[in-house]
Amino acid sequence: MTKKFYITAAIPYVNAAPHIGHALEFIQVDVVARYHKLLGEKVIALTGGDENALKNVQAAEKAGFPVQEFIDKNAKLFEELLKKLNTQFDVFQKGTAPSHFKSSQELWNKCFEKGDIYKKDYEGLYCVGCETFYSPDELNEKGECSEHPGKKLDKVSEANYFFKLSSYQKELIKLISTDKLKIYPDFRKNEVLSFLKEPLRDISISRSNERAKNWGVPVPNDPTQRMYVWFDALNIYRSGVDKATWPADLHVIGKGIIRFHTVYWPAFLLSAGLELPKAVMAHGYLTVDGQKMSKTIGNIIDPLEIINKYGVDTLRYYLLREISPFDDGDFSYRRLDEVYSSDLANELGNLVMRITTLAEKDKLEIKPIYNFQFSNLTIEQFDSFQFNLILESIWKKIKVLNKSTDDFAPWKKTSQERKEFLTKSLNEINQVGYELQPFLPETSEKILKATTGKITKIPPLFPRLNTK
């Protein structure tokens, strides 16, 4: 029986068009998915649209569009980006899908029947950006949300349904500390455990129809309330697949929402008697030229602009090689130009073109390599999401191949000497092509085709660009 591997990206808000931070996560998920496919596993990859948030309603009102029309338009932009990034997502589950509404209400009912949901009057400070309540001790020195500094929190007073999060504190600590719910990297795991050492407060999981503006999943048996967006949005991971696919083997998320995925989400599932995801990987944030991305600053990076100018594999390479999988990283067009010229055009592109040009002149034919396998070290690095280290290792091989070509100077050798060298070089480049499959699928396909059978000169993989 073929092993199943179910992986998810976070469910982005569809209150605006996607940016390069979304691209980073989608590409990370795609790399892991492609790797597991190469292992022969049946892979299911899911993301979707978080469509029931109040911020979506507010953005639609500001833009002067009906809410559904507005979120449908933005959701389509995300789906188009997934295709442009050459990612292989199987499911894009919309938060407004009837199947999601039904599944979320079933989840609610299970938690309610367990006795973990109750109603009470509540007053608190609400961050629309995070779609969550904060206590004063969770805010910065200015009384602001650390994720959205400079934005005033709403003081809310109303009757809400609450979930008994406190009932699952000990169980969550045990699950996380024993890695039954594995958190990558370890320092994020320690952050979550540190949070769980403090007494857990029960959390509000509904909003009044008035404050929700009659948008979102209705609370079962209470026409005055809508589900809190984080209760329903997390359930997209379940509502978008069949029962045989759940649980998720891996959730890939940004560091800012780790608490929702490692505390709230597993607690809801425990209450409902459902299986938990096996692992959560949290990546860092992207800055642009050292600054946080902001509409006010005007430094939001559209990944489609990069793809249109440099090609999709250039963007994939930059985000996977230059950005640490777990720490914050920086994007700059200056560095992108450097990477494109040095790593992609000069080192990889020039190598493949030189070797295939010489091989064509000698009318070489190469049999395909069928027994390729990842090394044990590479497997370990894939399993710990060290994408940058794997690419670093691949590029060391590329550098060695370039140097050996310069040193040997096959164009100066006899026909037999040149044939032996070129055959060896083509086989090694072919292996590089296999190793690049999860990372640069378009480039990998070109390399594999160019280095087997009757060899013909390959056009530049990364043509010289006027980047000024």
Q: Which residue in the list 292, 363, 449, 454 is annotated as catalytic?
A: 292
Helix residue ranges, H only, 87-144: 98-113
The residues with which 156 forms a beta bridge, in sequence order, are 124
Rounded to whole angstroms, how far apart are CA atoms 286 and 324? 10
Is 111 annotated as catalytic? no
Question: Are the C-beta atoms of 278 and 248 separated by less than 8 Å?
Answer: yes
Q: Which residue in the list 145, 189, 261, 283 is annotated as catalytic?
A: 145
The residues with which 44 forms a beta bridge, in sequence order, are 6
CA 319 to chain CA centroid, nearest Å: 11
Closest CA to 45 of 56, 54, 34, 53: 34
Is 363 annotated as catalytic? no
Rounded to whole angstroms, how far apart are CA atoms 4 and 245? 8
Q: Which residue in the list 243, 295, 367, 468 is annotated as catalytic?
A: 295
Question: Collapsing DSSP states into helix, strand and coil, what is residue 30?
Answer: helix
Q: Which residue in the list 37, 148, 164, 182 is annotated as catalytic?
A: 148
Is 36 annotated as catalytic? no
Query: What does the angle CA 26 – CA 31 – CA 37 come to, to the nearest 5 degrees?
Result: 120
Closest CA to 138 of 203, 50, 184, 182: 203
Tell me which residue has tokens 């009932």. Answer: 167
Is 251 annotated as catalytic? no
Rounded to whole angstroms, how far apart are CA atoms 147 and 167? 27
Q: Which residues contact 289 (CB under 8 A, 6 or more apart)?
A: 299, 330, 331, 332
Is 145 annotated as catalytic? yes
Order of all β-strands in the sheet with 117-127: 132-134, 117-127, 154-163, 203-204
Is 127 annotated as catalytic? yes
Q: Which residue in the list 22, 36, 94, 283 is annotated as catalytic?
A: 22
Q: Which two tokens stand for residue 115?
A: 């006795």
Question: Are the C-beta atoms of 383 and 438 separated by less than 8 Å?
Answer: no
The pairing of beta strand 91-94 with beta strand 132-134: unpaired
The residues with which 126 forms a beta bridge, in sequence order, are 133, 154
DSSP 8-state code for residue 103: H
Catalytic residues: 19, 22, 127, 130, 145, 148, 292, 295
